[in-house]
Amino acid sequence: MASGRKREFDSDAALDAAMHVFWQKGYIGASLMDLTDGMGISKPSMYRAFGNKESLFVKTTQRYIETKMKAHVELLFEAGVPLKQRLKNHMMSIVDMQCSSDQVKGCYLVLCQSEIISGVIPKEAEQILVEAEAMPMQLYTDLFEHDPEAIELGLNHNAHTNGLSLYTMLKGTASMARSGISKEELARSIDTIINGIGLH
C-alpha cells in the first residue's frame, strides 16, 4: 500500500506564521488568503494540516499560550526574588513582547478578545479566547491570596482587586504599544501601578 503524501512544511513554523497574521489583523480581519500567504502553503494543505480557519485559530492560540506566555508566568514565582521585583519582571517581560520590533506590536490575545463583542467569531474560537481571558485574573488573584510576602503585606485582603489592576494595566499597555508608545514610557506606568497596590 502506498503511504500518504508527506507534509512538505514545518507545522510549528506554519502555526507561528498564522499567529503573526492573526496578531496583525485579528480573527475577523485575517482572510484565508492572508493566512495561506503568510504560512507559505496552499489552501488544500492548510485544510489537511489544520482544518478550517476556526480550527487553525484554536491551534494557533494554544501555541501562543504555550510558547509566548509560559516564560512570563514563571517570573512571578522565581525563588529568592521579592514580590515587587517579581511583579515588575513579569509585567516588563510582557511589555517587552508587546513593544518588540520583531513581531506585530501589542498582544495577540487582547486584539482577538476585543472582537468577541462582534458576535461573528465562531463558538470554539470564542471559547478559547474566553478561557484565555480568565487565566490571568485567576493567576494574579491566587498569587495575592497565597504568596507569603503578599499575605505579610496584607495584599491578600484585596487579592481580586489587585489582580484586576495588574491585568487591566497589561491590557492597556498592549493597546498603547500597538499605538507606538515606547517601552520606557510604559515601564513608568508599570512602576506606578505596582506602587499603587501597596508595594512601595
Q: Which of 70, 114, 109 is nearest to 93 (CA)?
A: 70
- Residues 130, 119: Cα–Cα separation, whole Å: 13
Contacts of 107 (CB under 8 A, 6+ apart): 94, 97, 98, 170, 171, 174, 177
Angle CA(153)–CA(133)–CA(39) in degrees, nearest 5? 130
pLDDT value, residue 114: 93
Amino acid identity, position 79: A
Name the pTM for this structure. 0.89
Residue 3 confidence (pLDDT):
45
- Write down the domain spans for the chain: 11-196
Residue 103 has a pLDDT of: 72
Tell me the pLDDT of the chain (200 aa) as tens digits: 444 455 567 899 999 999 999 999 999 999 999 999 999 999 999 999 999 999 999 999 999 999 989 999 999 999 999 999 999 999 999 999 999 877 789 999 999 999 999 999 999 999 999 999 999 999 999 999 999 999 999 999 999 999 999 999 999 999 999 999 999 999 999 999 999 999 98
Cell of 182: 515606547
b/e code 157-176 from CB counts within 10 Å (16+ = b): eebeebbebbbebbbebbbb
Whole-number pLDDT of residue 53: 96
Architecture of the domain made up of 11-196: Orthogonal Bundle (1.10)
Q: How high is the pLDDT of residue 7? A: 56
pLDDT at residue 77 in the model: 96
